[in-house]
Each structure stands twice: as structure tokens, then as C-alpha cells.
Amino acid sequence: MNYSAFKILTQGLTGNKGWKPAWRDPKPKDSYDVVIVGGGGHGLSTAHYLAKTYGITNVAVLEKGWLGSGNIGRNTTIIRSNYMLPGNEPFYELSLKLWEGLEQDFNYNAMVSQRSILNLFHSDPQRDAFVRRANAMMLAGADAELADQQQLRRELPFLDFDNARFPIKGGLYQRRGGTVRHDAVAWGYARGADSHGVDIIQNCEVTGFEIENGVCIGVRSSKGSIRAKKVAVCVAGSSSRVMSLAGMRLPIESHVLQAFVTEGLKPTLPGVITFGAGHFYVSQSDKGGLVFGGDIDGYNTYAQRGNLPVVEDVAEGGMAIMPMIGRTRLLRSWGGVMDMSMDGSPFIDKTHIEGLYFNGGWCYGGFKATPASGYCYAHLLANDTPHPVATEMRLDRFKRGHIIDEKGQGNQPNLH
């Protein structure tokens, strides 16, 4: 069923009795061409592009819980492509371009809102670094715009420009950045994949891999054994647990990132704003709540909740750039578990086991990457060669010395 304004009108006039479930609830078949392990945003997006762009439709997506139960529903919904390194920036720019055409592509309202993202800077050296980043972004075809303090005083008068310790000197805009309704992304991709014949199987946990003579020929699951020509793991947050079933150790630690939302307010923030002297980012949802977050808690964990020291740190970050945030009341906070990789960048690669593919290590940047991650993973699964913008995202890059370390922190996952 194609969704359209006309459909809403005719359905409204006929008692809304013609709506059908957005995807089927099939039983798993005995075998598939590709089995995708993990029905999060990236897994569903992989299935969608595999079927739609690469014509491989004999595909199953196995999800342990229900669709949207993982990090696709726990992030702060920001999209952007303001990276710097050549191994990253073209990839994230492809992702932003895919976001721009996404709703037409999968015929679903994901509320993609390019309301801009602004990275504040607080010193002259930091401005120089941001100018360099802006140039790198523009070289990769992205948009970037430097705003001085005067301009920001006009546009965002509520910021604490004259903060004694971290005065706001200006900021780097990416006007095409913004926010997306995150669970609609999961539903839209699920519906898109399903409409091309992909089987989405929920409440189906993968408990092991069938590996014979170094070749992966299927998975064992809570709904029985399923054979597959290719098995594509896509379970960021639980990557180490799942890949250990295949005997692999990964360059990844699992960490928790907390997020917060306040009570609903009248329109206050035009776009996404980030603090340059600490770790804090904030936007306003369409319901009116301020959605914000900051640093990861910093220790290995699989608990989807964090601890209070980081709550305090995030609140301090908010108070440092916009003191008016202190007048709002916090409604909810939650945590999501993420793969923190050794250089802060992700992996989309084959493994040393033939037929077994891996996508993970998204750190806290997985949401914005959802379309390109799926697109490039589908490309890899279909052609057995990496997509041109994902050639650096290899598992063996540490061995080769070709790390993609945006922050220059070295192999310390909790610093990325």
C-alpha cells in the first residue's frame, strides 16, 4: 500500500478500515541468500537497500526483540556530516544525501528536518581547527558555514556569550544537518524491505553460527537453524557478544551513553547546538522537549542505564552555554549501549570466516549513519567489494596502521 495524502483522505472517508499492517510477520524459511542478524536501524536499512538497490530479495532480518527496541529508538536523533578525515567524511556525506531523499525512497514520513547543526567554538585555536574541518567538509561535497559571534548573538540571543571561562566566539554551521524521528526510520525501512519481499522475523535470537571448514553456512536461532549463503551481523552494542559465538575478538568495548529530555516547551531552539569546550549537545523535539546528551559513562557496560556523575557533567555542560536550561524540568533519561571502537570509527567488512560479514563499532554516531551504513553494507554483501566511500572501514586497519581517529586519542575507546 502506497501512503499519500489522497490515501489519508479516502481512508478517513471510509472509516479507516482499509489500513493494513506495515509489514508481515512471517515464519522463517529453511534457507535464504542473506540472513541479517539484528533488526535495528542499520540491519533494516541493509535489507531495504539489498532488496531495492541491489535486487537481492531472498533475505531475512532476525531481531532478538521487537523492531525499534534497541539503539534506533534510544539516540538523540541528530543527523549531520561534519567529520574531517577522508576515511569518514565522504561516507557521512553520502548518508546525509540519502537522508534527504529517504522519505520519498521508502514512502514513509520519517520527519526528516534539516534544521541545522551548530558547533560552538570558544577560543581562537578552536576556530582555526573548525575552519580546517569546514574546508575538509566542503572538499567532500558537504556544506559548512562559519558564523562569528555577532551573527550568533542575533540568531541565538539566549547563549551565554560572555561566560567567564568558555566565552562563545562563534560557531560552525552545517545547515543541512538536523533531526529525524528515529523510530519512524526503523518502521519505514522495515516497511520498505518487507514490500520488496524481505522476511522480518522478530523475537528471534541468534544463538550461534553454523561454521564448517571455515565457511559460515547459516545461523542457529531461537526459532531453529536457518541456512544462508551469507550471514551479515549488524548488532552494534552487542557486537562482541555475538561475534564471540564465531570465536572472534573485536577492537571494541561496550559503553553506555545517556540521553535526557525535558518537559515540553514552546519553540525555543531552532536547530541542534553543541558545546565546544565540553561534551553537550541539545535540540528541541517537535513535541517541545529539549533533547540532550553528553559524554559516555566511560566504563565497560551492557546495562542500558548510566550513573549520576555523568548526569551532573551533562547538566553542567548545558548550564555553561545556555543558563536558561536550568529553569526546565527533566522528564526522562535513559541509556543506550554502544560499540566503542579503538579509533572511534566503524567497521563494514568481511571477516576471516567466508560468508560471515560484520557491521559495527558505530560508537555514539550510529544514527546519522543509518542510511549509508545499510547502503554500503548491502553493496559489500552484493558485490563482495567495499563501497567506494567505505573502503577504509576495515577490521584489519589497526594491523595495517591505517586507523581513522578523528579525535587523535589512540586506542582508548572511552576517550573517543
Partner 1 sequence: MIINHPLLGPRDSAEFTYLGDARLIDRPDWQSDTATAEFHDYGYLRDNPAGNHRELWFHEGGDRSWLVVTRNTVTHEIKSVELARDVARAQGRSK
Chain residues binding partner 1 by CB under 8 A are 238, 240-241, 244, 249-254, 298-303, 307, 309, 342, 398-399, 411-414
**In whole angstroms, how far apart are CA 183 and each of 67, 214, 261, 282, 360?**
9, 37, 16, 19, 20
Q: How far is the CB of 7 from partner 1 (least distance, A)?
A: 45
Phi, psi of 261 (to 5 degrees): -140, 140
CA 129/CA 135 separation, integer angstroms: 10
Would you say 112 or 337 has its CB closer to partner 1? 337
Q: For cell 535464504, name the residue.
A: 32
Nearest to partner 1 of 310, 376 (CB atom): 310
**Between 120 and 353, whose beta carbon lies closer to partner 1?**
353
Alpha-carbon distances, residue 278 vs 52, 71, 122 (angstroms): 42, 24, 10
Angle made by CA atoms 282, 284, 290, in degrees to the nearest 5: 65
The total of other beta-carbon atoms located within 10 Å of residue 103's CB is 17
**Dihedral, CA of residue 48, residue 349, residue 140 and residue 98, to nearest 10:** 10
Whether the Cβ atoms of residue 44 and residue 67 lie closer than 8 Å to each other:
yes
Q: Shortest distance, CB of residue 398 to partner 1, whole angstroms?
A: 4
Q: How far is the CB of 252 from partner 1 (least distance, A)?
A: 6
C-alpha cell at 67: 523492531
Helix (H) or strand (E) holding 339: strand 330-341
Closer to partner 1 at the Cβ: 107 or 414? 414
Smallest separation (angstroms) from partner 1 to the CB of 249: 4
Q: What is the signed CA dihedral for 68, 234, 96, 251, rounded to 10 degrees?
A: 120
- Of 310 and 378, nearer to partner 1 (C-beta) is 310
d(CA 37, CA 120): 39
Find the shortest distance in angstroms from Cβ 106 to partner 1.
33
Nearer to partner 1 (CB atom), residue 7 or residue 241: 241
Amino acid at 124: D
Between 58 and 301, name the residue whose CB sits nearer to partner 1.
301
Q: Minimal distance in Å, beta carbon 301 to partner 1?
A: 5
Least separation in angstroms between CB 414 and partner 1:
6
Q: Specify the residue, 347 or 375, whose C-beta has the smaller distance to partner 1.
A: 347
Q: CA-CA distance, 40 to 8, in Å (whole number)? A: 28
Q: Which of 67, 59, 52, 39 is nearest to 102 (CA)?
A: 52
Query: Do β-strands 59-62 and 31-37 pair in parallel, antiparallel, or remain unpaired?
Result: parallel
Min dist. Cβ of residue 39 to partner 1 (A):
20
Q: Which is nearer to partner 1, 119 or 240 (CB)?
A: 240
As measured in angstroms, the least distance from the Cβ of 201 to partner 1 is: 23
